[in-house]
Structure 1
Amino acid sequence: MLDALRTYFQGKLPLTETQFSRLASLITPRHLTKGEVLGRQGETARFGAFVVRGCLRSYVTDARQKEHILQFAPENWWIADQHSLRHHQPALFTIEALEDSEVLLFGAGFYNQMEQFGPAFQQVFYELLQNSLVAMQRRLIGVLSAPAEARYQEFQQLYPTLARRLPQRHIAAYLGITPESLSRLRAGRGEK
């Protein structure tokens, strides 16, 4: 599984064998079964994950027990409740495996150890955090102001492989619409 992480970083930053070994010592490979929860809303997060194979999601449950999906994390995506992980505060959302998944787990110490890898490594993670922030801002704006058709199109652009892999109810929860509305939207686009 570590080969997937090595490949991920090769495209962004050359790590020496020593640096990669140090990085690998901060990561734990793990298999998650479909439905397994990595972290629960309201509890302190213990891990974040880099997804090697499979798909995870982050979601919140409101007072009426309705789920609202914030993010999907397919292959080569990172997912974590960073505030909870770094500051030992209650998690804002739950992270769950939507498919049997192979992940590389990292704890709070991962962030604290970044300095030892040098400025280039810190820059890569700074860019990841910025990209995450921009994606969440776009998502928020879309949920607040874009019609369902535009949100679905954005979903397809962001997650091109997931429309056929995930249950319709999860995609609908991500889009903030009912599964029936998603069926009508797909039918109008000629999708099955």
Structure 2
Amino acid sequence: MYQYLQKKVSDTIIISNEEFEYAKTLFIPKKLRRKRFLLQDGDPCIYTTFVEKGLLRSYTIDEKGNEHILQFGMQGWWVADLYSFLTGEPSEYNIEALEDSELLLITNSSWDLLLKEVPAFERYFRILIQNNLIATQKRLMGTMSTTAEERYIKLLQDFPDIVQRVPQHMIASYIGVTRETLSRLRSQITFE
């Protein structure tokens, strides 16, 4: 464990082996089996989590019982309810493993210590948060200004193996359509 985290961090910032070895001491390794929860709605998000291996989803359920998937957390991604993590407020999200997963968890106090003791990590997380903000804005604008077909095609382009790893109803939820609409889209789209 930690190999993928080291690769992702080193791809983003310059960090010494000593700094990374120190960082490792602040993370909690965790294996999470498929269909188990890392976070449930109403609980505070006490960890931000790096996905070393596996696949998670972050979602909420509305008052009508419909699921709305905010994010799929794949290998090399971070997953958390950042608002809850930073404020201690109860989360509005569930984070569930879609595959058996190997995770690296860090608490808020350990995260603060990491940023203080290894300033390069402050730059790393700033870059991640900036990229996340940009991706979130693009996804929001895409939801408002593109067709369901365009959103589905973009998802397939960005994550080619997602249809083999995620049930169709979850893909429908992620792009904001019904299962029936996704089924129609899939039958109409042909890739050359």
TM-score, length-scaled by structure 1: 0.92
Is the Cα contact below 8 Å between 1:50 and 1:104 reproduced in 2?
yes
Q: Matches of residues 6-155 of structure 1 in structure 2 within 5 Å? A: 6-113=6-113, 114-118=115-119, 120-155=120-155
The 3-state SS of whatever aligns with 1:22 is helix
Is the Cα contact below 8 Å between 2:59 and 2:95 reproduced in 1?
yes
One-letter amino acid of the counterpart of residue 66, structure 1: N
The 3-state SS of whatever aligns with 1:34 is coil
One-letter amino acid of the counterpart of residue 18, structure 1: E
Hey, what's the Cα distance between the residues in 2 that align with 1:43 and 1:181? 33
> Hey, what does 1:166 align to over in structure 2?
166
Hey, what's the Cα distance between the residues in 2 that align with 1:2 and 1:148? 37
Is the Cα contact below 8 Å between 1:27 and 1:104 reproduced in 2?
yes
One-letter amino acid of the counterpart of residue 31, structure 2: H
The 3-state SS of whatever aligns with 2:68 is strand
Hey, what's the Cα distance between the residues in 2 that align with 1:185 and 1:100? 30
Hey, what's the Cα distance between the residues in 2 that align with 1:174 and 1:164? 15
Is the Cα contact below 8 Å between 2:13 and 2:123 reproduced in 1?
no
The 3-state SS of whatever aligns with 1:122 is helix
The 3-state SS of whatever aligns with 2:164 is coil
**Identity of aligned pairs, percent?**
37
Shift of 1:9: 1.6
Q: Which runs of 5+ in 1 are unaligned?
A: none
Hey, what's the Cα distance between the residues in 2 that align with 1:159 and 1:28? 28
One-letter amino acid of the counterpart of residue 52, structure 2: V
Shift of 1:101: 0.9
CA, structure 1 residues 41+71, in 2 after alignment: closer, same or farther (shift >3 Å)? Answer: same
One-letter amino acid of the counterpart of residue 92, structure 1: E
Compute the RMSD of aligned alpha carbons. 1.5
Is the Cα contact below 8 Å between 1:86 and 1:111 reproduced in 2?
no
Hey, what's the Cα distance between the residues in 2 that align with 1:13 and 1:88? 29
Is the Cα contact below 8 Å between 1:39 and 1:47 reproduced in 2?
no
Hey, what's the Cα distance between the residues in 2 that align with 1:157 and 1:108? 34
The 3-state SS of whatever aligns with 2:163 is coil
Structure 1, residues 109-150: CA drift from partner, whole Å, max 9, x if none? 2431212112x3211210100111111112222222321011
> Hey, what does 1:2 align to over in structure 2?
2
> How many positions carry a matched residue from both structures?
190
Shift of 1:87: 1.2
Hey, what's the Cα distance between the residues in 1 that align with 2:110 and 2:158? 27
TM-score, length-scaled by structure 2: 0.92
One-letter amino acid of the counterpart of residue 107, structure 2: G
Q: Does 1:175 align with 2:175?
A: yes
The 3-state SS of whatever aligns with 1:42 is coil
Shift of 1:163: 2.1
